[in-house]
């Protein structure tokens, strides 16, 4: 278990990875998140699920501190969302791959490793090299390290972004629809990697998706609709509570009830 995941910077045991109360966001003239209250437990995979446009990306942006006009209380790893000390502790992968297309995969990783794992001298350089090798292996891209990012497929590009987010083994990984456009084998492999991260490093994952079948792969779920939280629970509890067989049916049941 990663010590950083279970201990605060001061060394004291901590509460949830994320805690929100009264979280609202206005975009343009619309209130796209309305008075949300939820927690994300540490060391587990929490799925943020809901239809396109319900506010998932907005919520994740608020969490990493890049969303303007967010009000309410949002605490991440014991600090206010966006706090500078969270920069190296939170990995964030946006929907659009954020890599330099005119650099090779390895050059991209080198670039971000230099920012995230600063330091001079041979030991620091060796650490960065070992870390880039590790994350490229984790996302199964070791055969493409010398390829220009601009020549990669969409799925491969997403995995480069994910590799960047894995540098330094962050305590919290925030992934915005990481499996969109991936084939079933890659999707399965990525979910295996996510579970592996929680098991081996105690990493907390918050993964958004609009595909309800991905819900079954999560330990806990936040179900959203129209900027509001419909439910927060385990997939099993949601199915049991609604008397349904799948999370998708549970979601529809909750929508009708609302
Ligand atoms: N710049 C903006 N100005 C005004 N409204 C916006 C802006 N960006 C997004 N929105 C609106 O905010 C709402 C939430 O968008 P958001 O991208 O968070 O949804 P989402 O659930 O992530 O959708 P998707 O699954 O399609 O990515 C949408 O109704 C969208 O139209």
Q: What is the pLDDT of residues 129-148, one digit of tens each?
A: 999 999 999 888 999 999 99
Task: Return the C-alpha torsion angle 222, 224, 227, 229, nearest 10.
Answer: -60
Residue 74: per-residue pLDDT: 97
Cα(24) to ligand 1 centroid in Å equals: 14
Residue 158: per-residue pLDDT: 87
- What mean pLDDT is reported for the chain? 91
Cα(258) to ligand 1 centroid in Å equals: 22
Higher pLDDT, 164 or 154: 164
Q: Is 109 helix (H, G, I), strand (E, B) or coil?
A: helix
Residue 185: per-residue pLDDT: 85
Q: Is 183 helix (H, G, I), strand (E, B) or coil?
A: coil
Take atom 14 of ligand 1 and give the residue whose Cα is closest. Answer: 55
Take atom 24 of ligand 1 and give the residue whose Cα is closest. Answer: 52
Take atom 18 of ligand 1 and give the residue whose Cα is closest. Answer: 55
Residue 82: per-residue pLDDT: 94
Pocket (CB within 6 angstroms of ligand 1): 27-28, 30, 32, 50, 52-58, 210
Cα(223) to ligand 1 centroid in Å equals: 16
Residue 87: per-residue pLDDT: 87
Q: How far is CA 229 from CA 170, 181, 254, in A?
A: 27, 26, 11
- Model confidence band, residue 2 (pLDDT cutoffs 50, 70, 90): very low
Going by C-alpha positions, the residue among 204, 208, 154, 153 that lies closest to residue 177 is: 208
Convert the pLDDT of each residue in 236-250 to its tens digit: 999 999 999 999 999
Higher pLDDT, 87 or 223: 223
Report which DSSP code applies to 13: B
Task: Evaluate whether ipTM surpasses 0.90.
Answer: yes
Cα(53) to ligand 1 centroid in Å equals: 5
- Model confidence band, residue 3 (pLDDT cutoffs 50, 70, 90): very low
Hunting for tokens 């004291």 — which residue is that?
Answer: 12
Cα(211) to ligand 1 centroid in Å equals: 17
Higher pLDDT, 10 or 231: 231
Crossing angle, helix 154-166 and helix 105-116, to 10 degrees? 20
Cα(216) to ligand 1 centroid in Å equals: 25
Take atom 16 of ligand 1 and give the residue whose Cα is closest. Answer: 55
Take atom 12 of ligand 1 and give the residue whose Cα is closest. Answer: 32
């Amino acid at each position: 278990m990663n010590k950083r995941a279970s201990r605060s910077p001061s060394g004291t045991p901590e509460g949830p990875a994320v805690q929100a109360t009264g979280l609202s966001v206005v975009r343009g003239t619309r209130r796209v998140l309305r008075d949300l209250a939820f927690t994300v437990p540490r060391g587990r995979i929490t799925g943020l699920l809901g239809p396109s446009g319900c506010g998932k990306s907005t919520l994740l942006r608020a969490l990493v501190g890049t969303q303007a006009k967010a009000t309410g209380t949002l605490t991440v790893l014991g600090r206010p969302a966006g706090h500078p000390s969270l920069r190296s502790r939170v990995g964030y992968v946006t929907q659009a791959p954020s890599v330099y297309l005119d650099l090779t995969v390895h050059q991209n990783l080198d670039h971000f490793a230099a920012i995230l794992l600063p330091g001079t001298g041979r030991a620091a350089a060796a650490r960065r090299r070992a870390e880039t090798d590790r994350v490229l292996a984790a996302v199964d891209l070791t055969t493409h390290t010398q390829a220009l990012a601009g020549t990669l497929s969409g799925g491969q590009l997403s995995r480069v972004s994910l590799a960047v987010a894995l540098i330094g083994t962050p305590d919290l990984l925030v992934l915005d629809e990481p499996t969109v456009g991936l084939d079933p084998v890659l999707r399965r492999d990525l979910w295996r990697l996510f579970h592996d991260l929680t098991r081996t490093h105690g990493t907390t994952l918050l993964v958004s998706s609009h595909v309800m079948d991905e819900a079954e792969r999560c330990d806990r779920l936040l179900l959203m609709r129209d900027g509001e939280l419909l439910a927060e629970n385990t997939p099993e509890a949601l199915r049991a509570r609604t008397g349904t067989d799948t999370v998708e049916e549970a979601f529809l049941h909750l929508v009708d009830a609302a």
